[in-house]
Amino acid sequence: MNGASTAKKRHNRLPAIAQAGPVSLWMILFVTIPMLFIIFISFMTRGSFGGVEYTPTLTSYETLADVIYLNVILKSLRVALVTTVVCLLLGYPFAYYIARKPADVASRLIMLLMIPLWTNSLMRLNAWMLLFQTNGPVNKALLGLGFVEKPVTFLYTDGLVLLGLITNFLPFAVLPMYSSIEKLQTAMLEASADLGAKPSVTFFRVTLPLTFPGIFSAIILTFIPALGTYTITDMLGGGKVLYIGNIIKNQFGTIRNWPLGAALSVLLLLVTALLIFVYSRFAKIEDMEVL
Amino acid sequence: MMKQISNRKLRRQKRNRFFGALYASIIYALFYIPVLVMIQFSFNDAKRNYSWEGFTTMWYGKLFSFRNHDLWEALVYSLIIAVIATIISVAIGVLGGVGLKKFEFRGKRFINLMLYVPIVVPEIVLAVSMLIIFMTIGIKLGMGTIVIGHCTFCIPYAVVTIKGRISGDNETLQEASMDLGANRLQTFWRVTIPSIMPGILSAAFLSFTLSIDDVIMSNMLASARQSTLPVLILSVNRTGVTPDINALTTIMVLVMVAGMLLLSAVQRARAKKEAREIAEMEKRISTMHSMVE
Amino acid sequence: MKRTLSVLVALIMLLTLTPAFAAQEEINIFMWSDYISDDLIANFEDEYGVRVNLSYMSDNADSITKLTAGAGSEYDLIMTCDAYMESLIAGGYLEQLDLSQIPNSENINRAYWSEQNQGYCVPYLMNYIYVVYDTERCPIEITCYNDLIRPEMKGQIGSVDGARNLFPIALIALGYDPNSRNENEIKEAYEWLVKYNENVVAYGSTETNMVSGTISCMFTYDGNTAEAMAQLGENNTLTVAPFTSDPVQLGFDLYVIPKGAQHIDLAYKFLNYICDPEVMAANLVDNPYSCPNDAAVAAASEEYRNGPAFNFDYKTNIFFQEDVGDAITIYDQYYQMLKVG
């Protein structure tokens, strides 16, 4: 940022307030204040009958030192990572395909992608389970065609969990990548080709770097929510494994240990903040003004 | 020689197009298979959807007898909340996305950081915290509080998608527009918004999707009068989903597909009409030319 | 654009104002969906000229979270379960009940309704959590909890979830108090549950998994079993495990009036209404769960009383889930270890 443009930007106080004001106000009112309250609660005592007693203590944070929470975080990170990588690999070519279509076709294709999401996610998970259950259609087909001797157990396997996670998060990866591929100038790709670059070179040297902001958004929009998810893993995984999201939810629900739930949330926030920080340094993203 | 190359190129293009379409179809199948299964089970002749027991249309009959208002009321309530939450989130998201990109101000990093919080923290945390705060300052629970809850996690998604869309080009365009004498508002409305339109659309889709499917905020911040559809579905899921919910969801999908078809038909008709008008105009101009000659 | 917006605004106003126009009195109830008959609600509305607003919980802890966060006064009746009663009473979250306003509550069997709870709640329906297996597919006959951890049962079991449902059966299998507060006993129970966990295919959705053939044995609620058996119809080969000495858990879903409720009068009327034997008997057709209302059970259909899901002879060999106070955090810790590994 050079001096002149900074000076120019200072003059723009009114539009700055008009544009950045609402979002700032909203975030402060409905995110900062509740989160400060959560941080405050995390230093309080668990009420014997649920809720919170306002006596300061570090008990919750001492509990966090238990190795079990480290395991949970690592497990959750692994699931989120696998989901994100698969979503990017599947989603990028798909986004590319849509983005290279004429604008009106592309917008219809995107809509086609979103329509299934407007049905309830629980109902969609149920549908997968009905499809893959022991006496379900997939098994019947396999048996009928003679591929297997007896029904295969698909339910509650890692494969089905991954399928559920991917179908849930893929659209969130596709959208930002689509909008950043779409704004690539065709002329630029043609120039690269005209200059004799092979398609693969054009892709890795021109297309990919230019669409990096979209990829970054896609990572944020899949990895971070996948980190806190639990309904999908719970339903398709048969509730045999707890993830960080489950544990936090349980503290606010059945266990009624709000301070511990609050402390776990703070921990989750710190882990994510650290990851974003490391990632943005590592990938040298100037555009993402994160942290 | 030249011809051969272009032939090969053409063939390759054709092949690429085929594989592209095939790949896209597979991805779409991933999203539509569960929807088709869901539709199939709306015709299930069983009290609950444990397995396929035979064909019936009785669930649609039950749904359209309107004896059970619950499902319809929940659906309408969810839709209204989703529409309002989407409008608010996109409006704030567009302004915020542009503003946070363009201007430097104190606390900007902080706001950027805050945007990630609702995406990271499990929803129940913000929901409980908001519930306590609302109860303490005496805000009545209801549609308003649910909308606030939904917007809180939709706005970050909207801002992130829109910000990803803005690039250096936008700034050049804006400056050009201002140099040509447009004021800020005109520039924003006529230049900035159209240039980020795909981002805005994505943001709207995302917000609507997140809101229409939300359970936790909708549950915690709801008043005693009315539950949203997802809350109702999750509650029923304790003993197994009943096929009338599948029937309702099927109707919802059909209405949306119909809406999409209608929209694109209108668009196409409008485009055709414009093309015709332009052609007519050209014809008139050329006649004028010939008359002049 | 403007027109769409104004239509929208009009719609919202219409929707938010509708209840205000209705001069009728209202009662707000928070409970499970699909857990009370539509006819019962409609008849109550007609008889008393009131409007019943039902809103639904998605998790058993929802009502607790709402109450502890201070949102209880939004409701007139809240459904919760017996395990939370002690905490809710001690925390002062509930209105004390005047049973003289609920004369029909005489019909409720006092064995299921403790002296202390009588002052604060009215039981609605109840659930045995017991073991059911498929006589054709299950490798062994199950007669006690210890059978569930035998190696033959690997990959056969579907189970309900939750620390306070799982630990009691382990404690009983080991010969301890199912509501133990002793850390060593809980730890032993955890070790028992690790073996149980190896045999479990999935927690939750037990009846779906049973009907679809994914499991051959389930630790589940009687009401869910009734649904599964009804769906299997003539092909039903499920049977309630003939337990010889181990007690089974009996849990209650009950109504409480939250502190500060706005329509206590109507809440009493509603509670009295559902305790009416005829009303409850009709309700049991749609909701075939066990019922603490003896007069209602007597008035209920043959089909309900002879339902195969209730066909077991140890109905009185039961234990209740009690509030374990601060020991809940010990349970939680071991439950997490069980699930994290």
As a three-state string, the secondary structure of chain C is: CHHHHHHHHHHHHHHHHHHHHCCCEEEEEEECCCCCCHHHHHHHHHHHCEEEEEEECCCCCHHHHHHHCCCHHHCCEEEEEHHHHHHHHHCCCECCCCHHHCHHHHHECHHHCCHHHHCCEEEEEEEEEEEEEECCCCCCCCCCHHHHHCHHHCCCEEECCCHHHHHHHHHHHCCCCCCCCCHHHHHHHHHHHHHHHHHEEEECCHHHHHHCCCCCEEEEEHHHHHHHHHHHHHHCCEEECCCCCCCEEEEEEEEECECCCCCHHHHHHHHHHHCCHHHHHHHHHHCCCECCEHHHHHHCCHHHHCCHHHCCCCCCCEECCCCCHHHHHHHHHHHHHHHHC
Most B-contacting residue of A118, A232, A277 (CB-CB within 10 A), to test interface: A118
The pLDDT value given to residue B116: 84
C74, B236: Cβ pair inside 8 Å?
no
Name the residue of chain C whose CA is nearest to B143's CA: C16
Looking at the DSSP bridge assignments, the partners of residue A89 are: none
Roughly what angle, to the nearest 10 degrees, separates helices B143-165 and C2-21?
Answer: 160
Q: Which residues contact A52 (CB under 8 A, 6 or more apart)?
A: A41, A44, A45, A46, A258, A259
Most C-contacting residue of B136, B238, B263 (CB-CB within 10 A), to test interface: B238
Instruction: Provide the token pair at C323.
Output: 């509030």
Higher pLDDT, B41 or B264: B41
- Which range marks the domain in which residue C276 is found? 22-125+251-305
Question: Distance (Å, rounded) from C-alpha C24 to C-alpha A5?
Answer: 64
Q: Which residues contact C199 (CB under 8 A, 6 or more apart)?
A: C148, C149, C150, C153, C154, C155, C156, C157
- The residues on A that touch C, with CB distances below 8 Å, are 46-51, 66, 68, 71-72, 75, 129, 133-136, 151, 153, 155-156, 234-235, 238-242, 246-247, 250, 252-257
Question: Distance (Å, rounded) from C-alpha C213 to C-alpha C233?
Answer: 15
Is residue B238 a contact partner of residue C162, using CB atoms and an 8 Å limit? no
What would the mean pLDDT of C138-156 be, rounded to a whole number? 96
C208, A129: Cβ pair inside 8 Å?
yes
Question: Distance (Å, rounded) from C-alpha B130 to C-alpha A113?
Answer: 33
Between CA C173 and CA C176, with CA C175 as vertex, the angle to 5 degrees is 110
pLDDT tens per residue, range A225-238 = 898 888 888 889 89
Name the residue of chain B whose CA is nearest to C16's CA: B143
The pLDDT value given to residue C150: 97
Q: Which residues of C touch A241 (CB under 8 A)?
A: 339-341
Q: What percent of chain A has pLDDT over 90?
A: 33
C313 and C233 assigned to the same domain:
yes
Q: What is the ipTM of this complex?
A: 0.85
B47, C212: Cβ pair inside 8 Å?
no
- Report yes or no on C6 lying in a domain: no
Instruction: Provide the token pair at C145.
Output: 């909890």
Which of C70, C229, A270 lies closest to B137 in space, CA to CA? C70
| Residue C2 predicted with pLDDT over 60 | no
C336, A68: Cβ pair inside 8 Å?
yes
What would the mean pLDDT of C3-21 be, rounded to a whole number? 51
Which of C16, C53, C223 lies closest to B224 in CB terms? C53
The pLDDT value given to residue B257: 84
| Residue A97 predicted with pLDDT over 90 | yes
Number of C-beta neighbours around residue C236 at 10 A: 15
Question: Which CATH architecture describes the domain B68-241?
Answer: Orthogonal Bundle (1.10)
C189 and C315 assigned to the same domain:
yes
Q: Which residues contact C234 (CB under 8 A, 6 or more apart)?
A: none
Q: Which residues contact B164 (CB under 8 A, 6 or more apart)?
A: A176, A179, A180, A213, A214, A216, A217, B199
B226, C55: Cβ pair inside 8 Å?
yes
**For chain B, what are the domain ranges?**
68-241
C70, B136: Cβ pair inside 8 Å?
yes
Q: Which residues of B touch C71 (CB under 8 A)?
A: 131, 135, 141
Q: Which residues of B touch A231 (CB under 8 A)?
A: 215
Which of C235, C41, C249 lies closest to C131 in space, CA to CA? C249
Number of domain units in chain C: 2
Name the residue of chain B whose CA is nearest to C70's CA: B135
Is residue A132 a contact partner of residue A160, using CB atoms and an 8 Å limit? yes
Instruction: Provide the token pair at B62.
Output: 């039950």
If DSSP codes are grouped into helix, strand and coil, which group holds residue A3? helix
Which of B82, B249, B105 lies closest to B153 in space, CA to CA? B82
Instruction: Provide the token pair at A275.
Output: 């990851």
Interface of C with B in 205-264 (CB under 8 A): 205, 207-208, 211-212, 223-224, 227-228, 230-231
pLDDT tens per residue, range C66-115 = 888 888 888 999 999 888 888 889 889 999 999 999 999 999 999 889 88
Q: Which residues of B touch A21 (CB under 8 A)?
A: 95, 99
* Contact status of A273 with chain B (Cβ, < 8 Å): yes
Is residue A234 a contact partner of residue B130, using CB atoms and an 8 Å limit? no
Interface of C with A in 259-278 (CB under 8 A): none
Give C230→chain A minimum CA distance, Å. Answer: 18
Name the residue of chain A whose CA is nearest to C323's CA: A49
Q: Which residues of B touch A107 (CB under 8 A)?
A: 198, 201
Higher pLDDT, A74 or A191: A74
The pLDDT value given to residue A288: 45
A22, B95: Cβ pair inside 8 Å?
yes
Which of B20, B129, B234 lies closest to A122 in CB terms? B234
Q: Which residues contact A237 (CB under 8 A, 6 or more apart)?
A: A156, A158, A161
Tell whether the torsion through CA atoms of A223, A224, A227 and A232 is positive or negative: negative
Which of C15, C65, C230 lies closest to B80 in CB terms? C15
Higher pLDDT, C205 or B67: C205
Question: Distance (Å, rounded) from C-alpha C268 to C-alpha C14?
Answer: 31
- Report yes or no on C56 lying in a domain: yes
Is residue C145 a contact partner of residue C169, using CB atoms and an 8 Å limit? yes
Q: Which residues of C touch A246 (CB under 8 A)?
A: 339
Question: Distance (Å, rounded) from C-alpha A129 to C-alpha A192?
Answer: 47
A253, C87: Cβ pair inside 8 Å?
no
B118, A258: Cβ pair inside 8 Å?
no
To which H or E segment does residue A46 belong? strand A45-46
Per-residue burial over A120-156, b = 16 or more CB atoms within 10 Å of its CB, e = otherwise: bbbbbbbbbbbbbbbebeebeebeeeeeeeebebbbb
Higher pLDDT, B2 or C38: C38
B240, C227: Cβ pair inside 8 Å?
yes
- Tokens 């903040």 correspond to A273
A37, B132: Cβ pair inside 8 Å?
yes
Which of A134, A246, A255 lies closest to C213 in CB terms? A134
B224, C32: Cβ pair inside 8 Å?
no
B131, C15: Cβ pair inside 8 Å?
no
Question: Distance (Å, rounded) from C-alpha B243 to C-alpha B256?
Answer: 20
Which of B291, B222, C213, C26 lies closest to A130 in space, CA to CA? C213
- Tokens 């039981």 correspond to C123
- Report yes or no on C5 lying in a domain: no
The pLDDT value given to residue B170: 64
Question: Distance (Å, rounded) from C-alpha C16 to C-alpha B115?
Answer: 31
Segment among A139-153, B245-259, B276-290, C228-242 with least mean pLDDT:
B276-290
Give residue A290's pLDDT band: very low, low, confident or very high (50, 70, 90): very low
To which H or E segment does residue A53 belong? strand A52-53
C172 and C203 assigned to the same domain:
yes
What would the mean pLDDT of B166-176 be, rounded to a whole number? 69
Tell whether the torsion through CA atoms of C258, C60, B67 and B217 is positive or negative: positive
The pLDDT value given to residue B31: 94
Q: Which residues of B touch C230 (CB under 8 A)?
A: 47
Give residue B189's pLDDT band: very low, low, confident or very high (50, 70, 90): confident
C66, B220: Cβ pair inside 8 Å?
yes
CA atoms within 13 A on the CB side of A142: 17
Give residue C128's pLDDT band: very low, low, confident or very high (50, 70, 90): very high
C217 and C328 assigned to the same domain:
yes
Pairing of strands C121-134, C157-159: unpaired
Residue A45 backbone dihedrals phi, psi, to 5 degrees: -95, 145
CA dihedral B265→B267→B272→B275, nearest 10 degrees, is -170
Q: Which residues contact B43 (CB under 8 A, 6 or more apart)?
A: B55, B56, B57, B59, B243
Interface of A with B in 50-89 (CB under 8 A): none
What would the mean pLDDT of C192-220 be, rounded to a whole number? 94
Question: Distance (Å, rounded) from C-alpha B31 to C-alpha B24?
Answer: 11
If DSSP codes are grouped into helix, strand and coil, which group holds residue A248? helix
Q: Which residues of C touch B83 (CB under 8 A)?
A: 8
pLDDT tens per residue, range A24-68 = 999 999 999 999 999 999 999 988 776 788 889 998 899 888 888
Is residue A122 a contact partner of residue A231, using CB atoms and an 8 Å limit? yes
Q: Which residues contact A53 (CB under 8 A, 6 or more apart)?
A: A44, A45, A46, A47
Give B234→chain C minimum CA distance, Å. Answer: 5
The pLDDT value given to residue A241: 84
C297 and C313 assigned to the same domain:
no
Instruction: Provide the token pair at B49.
Output: 């959807």
| Residue B93 predicted with pLDDT over 60 | yes
Q: Which residues of A touch B130 (CB under 8 A)?
A: 30, 34
If DSSP codes are grouped into helix, strand and coil, which group holds residue A45? strand
Q: Which residues of B touch C227 (CB under 8 A)?
A: 47-48, 239-240
To which H or E segment does residue A52 belong? strand A52-53
Which of C100, C35, C105, C37 lies closest to C295 in space, CA to CA? C105
Give A116→chain C minimum CA distance, Å. Answer: 23
* Contact status of A105 with chain B (Cβ, < 8 Å): no
C70, B143: Cβ pair inside 8 Å?
no
End-to-end CA distance of chain C: 56
Which of C44, C107, C82 lies closest to C283 in space, CA to CA? C44
Give residue A3's pLDDT band: very low, low, confident or very high (50, 70, 90): very low
Give residue C249's pLDDT band: very low, low, confident or very high (50, 70, 90): very high
The most confident of B2-16, B22-36, B214-228, by mean pLDDT: B22-36
| Residue C295 predicted with pLDDT over 50 | yes
CATH of the domain at C227: 3.40.190.10
Give residue A289's pLDDT band: very low, low, confident or very high (50, 70, 90): very low
Question: Distance (Å, rounded) from C-alpha A231 to C-alpha B230?
Answer: 13
The pLDDT value given to residue C21: 46
**For chain A, what are the domain ranges?**
18-282
Q: Which CATH superfamily is domain A18-282 in?
A: MetI-like (1.10.3720.10)
The pLDDT value given to residue A83: 96
Which of C252, C255, C290 lies closest to C272 in space, CA to CA? C255
Q: Which residues contact A223 (CB under 8 A, 6 or more apart)?
A: A80, A81, A83, A84
Which of A75, A133, A257 lies closest to C329 in CB terms? A257
Give residue B67's pLDDT band: very low, low, confident or very high (50, 70, 90): low
C15, B227: Cβ pair inside 8 Å?
no
C339, A256: Cβ pair inside 8 Å?
no
Chains interfacing with B (3 or more CB pairs < 8 Å): A, C
> How many residues belong to chain A?
291
- Tokens 């690539």 correspond to A184
**Contacts by B62-67, CB closer than 8 A, 24 or more apart:** B62/B244, B62/B247, B63/B244, B63/B247, B63/B248, B63/B251, B67/C38
Question: Distance (Å, rounded) from C-alpha C94 to C-alpha C98?
Answer: 13
What would the mean pLDDT of C123-131 be, rounded to a whole number? 95
A22, B96: Cβ pair inside 8 Å?
yes
